């Protein structure tokens, strides 16, 4: 007789409740044709990029990617945080300011062109749940996410390393 386990994680249960839809083979063939055609005919590639960025399905896919990234990063916090601190984290998650930050992150995820940018939004949200060197408890996380959305890859690299480039030494 098969043994059924119980689902301990409510977040996992919610993701299991709505499994991914199986793709239509005609739709996949159309996407492949656009990709191949775009390699030969540049205006078709521009159309493909715009279609990918603006289509409703792709927008929802980016939000789902954001939620998955948030879930994965949140699991790390759950494992590393003691039970008493998790109650504080739950209170932060229930706050209106965190709800607003999640909405801002979803909006920015829809606009994002790269998955790495979406991962950064999730990292900011998860990072705001625990005390650390950069998170000010009074900071508006939604504003921070919007700021990060405006920064390019090089901007973020400079901020993370704290260096602009080779330092010129003056000979005095």
In SS3 terms, 117-159 reads as HHHHHHHHHHHCCCCCCCCCCCCCHHHHHHHHHHCCHHHHHHH
pLDDT at residue 135, rounded to an integer: 61
The yes-or-no verdict on residue 61 having pLDDT over 60 is: yes
**Angstrom distance (rounded) from CA 164 to CA 166:** 7
pLDDT band at 59 (very low <50, low <70, confident <90, very high): confident
In tens, the pLDDT along 129-172 reads 876 666 666 678 899 899 989 988 787 777 777 655 554 444 44
Residue of higher predicted confidence among 90 and 4: 90
Residue listed under structure tokens 């900011």: 124
Domain chopping of the chain, boundaries = 25-54, 56-163
Mean predicted confidence (pLDDT) in 92-111: 91
Residue of higher predicted confidence among 131 and 79: 79
Q: Residues 131, 88: contact at Cβ < 8 Å? A: no
Mean predicted confidence (pLDDT) in 81-102: 85
Q: CA 59, 63, 64, 69 torsion: positive or negative?
A: positive
**Angstrom distance (rounded) from CA 153 to CA 102:** 22
pLDDT at residue 6, rounded to an integer: 45
What's the chain's Rg over C-alpha atoms? 21
In tens, the pLDDT along 2-55 reads 344 445 555 555 555 555 566 677 777 777 887 888 788 888 888 887 887 778
């Amino acid at each position: 007789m098969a043994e059924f386990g119980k689902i301990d994680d409510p977040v996992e249960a919610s993701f299991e409740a709505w499994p991914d839809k199986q793709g239509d083979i005609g739709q996949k063939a159309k996407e492949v044709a656009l990709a191949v055609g775009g390699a030969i005919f540049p205006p078709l590639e521009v159309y493909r990029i715009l279609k990918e960025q603006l289509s409703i399905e792709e927008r929802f896919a980016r939000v789902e990617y954001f939620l998955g990234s948030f879930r994965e990063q949140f699991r790390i916090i759950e494992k590393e945080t003691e039970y008493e601190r998790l109650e504080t984290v739950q209170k932060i998650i229930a706050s209106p300011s965190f709800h607003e930050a999640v909405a801002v992150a979803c909006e920015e995820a829809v606009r994002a062109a790269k998955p790495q940018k979406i991962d950064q939004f999730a990292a900011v949200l998860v990072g705001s749940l625990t005390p650390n060197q950069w998170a000010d408890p009074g900071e508006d996380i939604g504003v921070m996410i919007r700021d990060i959305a405006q920064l390019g890859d090089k901007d973020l690299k400079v901020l993370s390393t704290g260096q602009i480039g080779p330092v010129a030494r003056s000979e005095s």
